[in-house]
C-alpha cells in the first residue's frame, strides 16, 4: 500500500470514530429527554394541567398552565422532585443572580473576584411561606458558554409570570 492510502485511512478513522460516538450520545440524550418530557406531561395530566408554555433545561423541565395559573417544575437531578406552584399565591417573581467570591493570585497579591454561581427565578409568596427558587443556570452543572442564553430564558419566564401576577392585580382593583 502506498503511504498516501495509509494516511487517508488514518485520517478517516480519526474523524469517523469520534463522530460515531457523538451521534450515539446525541441519540441517547434525545431519548432520555423524550422519556423525561413524557413523564412530565403525564404528571401534569394527573394534576389536571395542560401546558401552554414549557422549557426543557439541563436538569429540569418547567411547564405553565396559564388557564389554571399553575407552574409545574420537575427537577430530575433531585430525585425526580416535582413542585407545583400556584401563581395566584405568588406575590413576586424575579430573576436573582447569586455570586461567590474567588480568591485569585498569590498569597502576597491575593485578590477577591466575584464569580456567578447561579441564576434563579425566585418566587415570594403572599402567605409568607418560604420562597422557592428555580435555577436556570448553575455553575456546577452548566457551562459558562450557556450563561447568556439561560439568563435570557430566565428573564423571559420572569416577564411571562410577572404579567400573570400584574393581570391578577388589575382584576382585583
Cα separation, 161 vs 143, in Å, equals 26
Segment 16-46, tens digit of pLDDT: 788 787 877 777 778 887 888 888 888 888 8
Contact (CB, 8 A) for 100 and 115? yes
What does the pLDDT read at residue 171? Answer: 52
C-alpha cell recorded at residue 48: 389536571
Q: Which of 88, 70, 94, 86 is nearest to 169 (CA)?
A: 88
In the predicted structure, residue 93 carries a pLDDT above the cut 80: yes
CB 30 within 8 A of CB 15: no
The confidence score (pLDDT) of residue 18 equals 81
Average pLDDT value for residue range 69-80: 82
pLDDT beyond 60 at 54: yes
Look at residue 170 in the predicted model and tell me its pLDDT: 53
Among 12-26, 38-52, 106-120, name the most confident range.
Answer: 38-52
Looking at residue 150, what is its pLDDT? 92
Amino acid at each position: 500500500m502506498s503511504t498516501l492510502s495509509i494516511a487517508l485511512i488514518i485520517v478517516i478513522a480519526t474523524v469517523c470514530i469520534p463522530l460515531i460516538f457523538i451521534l450515539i450520545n446525541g441519540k441517547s440524550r434525545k431519548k432520555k429527554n423524550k422519556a423525561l418530557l413524557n413523564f412530565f406531561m403525564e404528571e401534569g395530566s394527573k394534576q389536571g394541567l395542560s401546558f401552554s408554555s414549557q422549557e426543557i433545561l439541563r436538569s429540569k423541565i418547567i411547564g405553565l398552565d396559564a388557564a389554571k395559573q399553575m407552574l409545574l417544575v420537575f427537577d430530575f437531578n433531585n430525585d425526580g422532585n416535582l413542585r407545583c406552584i400556584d401563581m395566584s399565591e405568588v406575590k413576586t417573581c424575579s430573576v436573582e443572580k447569586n455570586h461567590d467570591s474567588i480568591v485569585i493570585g498569590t498569597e502576597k497579591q491575593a485578590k477577591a473576584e466575584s464569580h456567578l454561581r447561579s441564576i434563579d427565578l425566585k418566587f415570594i409568596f403572599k402567605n409568607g411561606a418560604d420562597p422557592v427558587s428555580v435555577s436556570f443556570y448553575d455553575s456546577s452543572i452548566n457551562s459558562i458558554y450557556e450563561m447568556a442564553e439561560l439568563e435570557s430564558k430566565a428573564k423571559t419566564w420572569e416577564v411571562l409570570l410577572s404579567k400573570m401576577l400584574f393581570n391578577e392585580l388589575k382584576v382585583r382593583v
